[in-house]
Amino acid sequence: MDIYDFKNALLIGFFMAFMIGPVFFMLIQTSILKGARAAIALDLGVILGDLSFILIAYYGSRSLLEKLKEDPRLFFIGGLVLIIYGLITYFDKENKKEALENSKMINVEDAKKEFIADFFNFFCC
């Protein structure tokens, strides 16, 4: 690993840390309504949650990664599973018909109801 890789990883991590998402808006709402201490507590909870998921993913997949290094046939098995899934999805006519029928049945009233439900759900978090 040279300095170029480290610099790229640092820049990507820095920009991903400031990406705007639902937690960002929840953090702003909490800081406005409940104050800075509550916002810091929320932020620490998010950080601890992210770290725990990263550790679970790392240690949970460690043995699988070691097996992949020893036996590259597992790459082919995984690729075969993805190809079969893709073919089944592509050739499944019933799901295509249902999707086309459902897409034609979109109603303006349903869209309004979903918008209102999502709008209020955002502010209830």
Per-residue DSSP letters for 76-96?
HHHHHHHHHHHHHHHH-HHHH
In a domain, 50, yes or no: yes
Q: Give how many domains the chain has, as a whole number.
A: 1
Residue-averaged pLDDT of the chain: 75
Report for 45-49, 66-70, 117-121: range of highest mean pLDDT: 45-49
In a domain, 63, yes or no: yes
Contacts of 42 (CB under 8 A, 6+ apart): 26, 27, 30
What's the whole-number mean pLDDT along residues 74-103? 78
In a domain, 88, yes or no: no
Q: Is residue 99's pLDDT more than 70?
A: no
In a domain, 117, yes or no: no
What's the whole-number mean pLDDT along residues 1-28? 75
Q: What is the residue range of 27's domain?
A: 21-71
